[in-house]
Amino acid sequence: MTVLTLSTSSAATLRADAVVVGVTKGAKGPVVAVGAEAVDKAFGGKLAATLETLGATGAEDEVTKLPAASGLKAPVVLAVGLGEVPAKGDGYDAETLRRAAGAAARALAGSKKGAFALPVEDAAGAAAVAEGALLGAYTYDKGNGNGAKDDKKKNNGPLAEVVLLGGKPRDKAYKAAAERATALVAEVNRARDLINTPANLLNPASFAAAAVKAAKEHGLKTEVLDETALKKGGYGGIVGVGQGSEAPPRLVRITYTHPKAEKTLALIGKGITYDSGGISLKPAGHNETMKCDMSGAAAVFAAIVTAAKLGLRVNLTGWLALAENMPSGSAIRPGDVLSMYGGKTVEVLNTDAEGRLVLADAITRACEEKPDAIVDVATLTGAMVLALGTRTFGIMSNDEAFRTALHETAEEAGEPSWPMPLPTHLRKSMDSPVADLANMGERMGGGLVAGLFLKEFVEDGTTWGHLDIAGPAFNDCGPFGYTPKGGTGSAVRTLVRLAERTAAGDLG
C-alpha cells in the first residue's frame, strides 16, 4: 500500500517526482490556492496565468501537469482543480479536498513520491487530503496472490509515497489523522481487492478463509458455519441460495470487543460471491460484473478490521452471509418454499432476489444476541440504482431517528446517501398463499419492497438500518476523484464512522 508521511518542508525544497498544488475557479480565471505560495513564487507569481494558458480552469477533478520552474526540487508540478473559490472565511470542505487529492494521486500512478501542497488548514483537512490521496492511489493487483504479478517495469503500480506538506508531524491531532487515514484506507482497499477478485478465485469458502486469516492477525474472533452446520441449524435462506452451486455457502461470524465498550453493533453483509440470478437467469449484459455482489460482506469485514486497528471503544459483531447463486439441477426454483432461520417460511417467486434471503437468516441470528442496533449492507436491488443513480446509496430503517443518524454519518464520511421510506402499503404485495411471505412484491418501488422484506426478520424492539449500495459499490465507468474503476469499497467509511460515533456516545 502507498505510504503516507507528514512533512513541514517547503513545497519548493522537498525532493519528489511531483509537487501537487490546488487551483480554483476564479471570476477571471484560475486562482492558485493556499499552500502553493512557494511554487507560485518559483514561477514569478505567474503560475495561475501559465495554467490558464494550458487550458486549466480550476474545475473539480481537473488535472494539469507542467514542467517545474527553476528553484523547485520536484521536476513536475501537478495542479488539481478544487472548484469554485470558497466564500470569504470558509475553507474547502472535506470532500472537495478528498476528491482533489484522489485525482492527483491517480495521475501520479507509477511515481515514487508525490508532495501534496493542498490547502490544509487543520487536522480535519489533513485527514481529508490523506484519505483522498491514499484512496486515489489504489490499483488492483491482478495477480491477487495467485502467481501472476504486475509488471513493475511498466510503471503501472500505485504512487508509492504520499508526502503531506503542512502536516505538522509533531502535532497529536495531525498524527492521529494520518494514522486513522492509513488504517481506514488499507481496509477500504482490502474490500476493493475482494470485490475485484474474479469469482473463480473467490468463493464462499475462500472468502471465509480470508476473514479467518485477517481475524488472527488483528485479534478478532471468528466462527464459520459450513454447509453441514447451516443445514443442521435451519438456515434455509443461505442454504437455499447456495444449493445450486458446487461452491457451498458459509456464514461467518467475526467479532471485535473492547473491554470498556458500552454499546454493541451488529453489522451484516450480503456476500453473494457470484450472482447469475439462478434459475431466474440474468440476461446477457447484466451478469458480467456480478462478482461484486459480495460488496456488502466485504464492507462489513473491512469495517470490523478497521475498528480493531483503531482500538475503538465499541463491540462489533459482523455477519458475512456468503453464497454463490447458480442455476443447476439442485438449484431452488421459482415457486419453492424455504423455511428460514427462526421458522418463517418464504415463497421464492424470483431466484434473482436472493440477497434478501441470505440476509434474512443473518438478521434473525444477529437479533438473538440483543445488539443495540443492527445495520445490514447489500448490493440489493437494481431499483435503488434507478432511484438514486450510481453514486448514492439508499438508507432505510425501522427507526426514523436512526435512519437520520445513518444519513448524517454517511455524509460525515464523505459517502453520498439518501434516506428512503418503508411504505407499509407495499407489505401486502408480498403476501403468499403458501408461505408467510414471498421474496417479491410490487415491481414499482422494488428497493423499498426489499427493505420491507428484511424488516420482517428484525425482532420487535431492535433498532435496524439497511444500506442498499447497489449503485456505488462497483464503478464500471471511468475513475473519478479518489474512486477507481471496479470495486469501490462503498460503505466501509460509513460503518467505521458509525462505530466511532457509537463509541463516543453520539448515537444515544
CA distance 409 to 406: 5
pLDDT truncated to tens, each residue of the chain (508 aa)?
Answer: 899 999 999 999 999 999 999 999 988 899 999 999 999 999 999 999 999 999 999 999 899 999 999 999 999 999 999 999 888 767 899 999 999 999 999 999 999 999 999 999 999 999 999 999 999 999 998 754 443 344 444 456 899 999 999 888 889 999 999 999 999 999 999 999 999 999 999 999 999 999 999 999 999 999 999 999 999 999 999 999 999 999 999 999 999 999 999 999 999 999 999 999 999 999 988 899 999 999 999 999 999 999 999 999 999 999 999 999 999 999 999 999 999 999 999 999 999 999 999 999 999 999 999 999 999 999 999 999 999 999 999 999 999 999 999 999 999 999 999 999 999 999 999 999 999 999 999 999 999 999 999 999 999 999 999 999 999 999 999 999 999 999 999 999 999 999 999 999 998 6
Residue ranges, comma separated, of all CATH 3.40.220.10 domains in the chain are: 3-166
pLDDT at 508: 67
pLDDT at 286: 87
Classify residue 227 by burial, with Cβ atoms within 10 Å: 0-12, 13-18, 19+: buried
Helices 355-367, 446-455: inter-axial angle, 10-degree rounding? 30
Q: Which residues are registered as beta bridge partners of 394?
A: 418, 468
CA distance 120 to 130: 10
Selecting among 356, 365, 427, 497, the annotated active-site residue is 356
Residue type for 485, please?
A: K
Selecting among 41, 175, 231, 282, the annotated active-site residue is 282
pLDDT at 33: 95
Catalytic residue at 180?
no
User: Please, are residues 140 and 112 in contact by the beta-carbon 8 Å criterion?
Assistant: no
CA distance 447 to 437: 17
| Domain spanning 3-166: CATH superfamily | Leucine Aminopeptidase, subunit E, domain 1 (3.40.220.10)
Give the angle 346-352-353 at the CA atoms, nearest 5°: 45
Residue ranges, comma separated, of all CATH 3.40.630.10 domains in the chain are: 192-503
pLDDT at 368: 98
* 472 CB-near residues (< 8 Å, 6+ apart): 390, 391, 392, 393, 415, 416, 488, 490
Cα torsion through 40, 43, 49, 54, rounded to 10: -110
pLDDT at 255: 98
In the block, cell 488499507 appears at 186
pLDDT at 156: 67
Which CATH number fits the domain 192-503, given the four candidates 1.10.30.50, 3.40.630.10, 3.30.1330.30, 3.30.2000.10?
3.40.630.10
pTM (2 decimals)?
0.96
Number of residues that make up the chain: 508
345 closest CA partner among 359, 328, 360: 360
Q: Within 13 Å and on the Cβ side, how many CA atoms surround 193?
A: 18
Catalytic residue at 282?
yes
In the block, cell 489533513 appears at 126
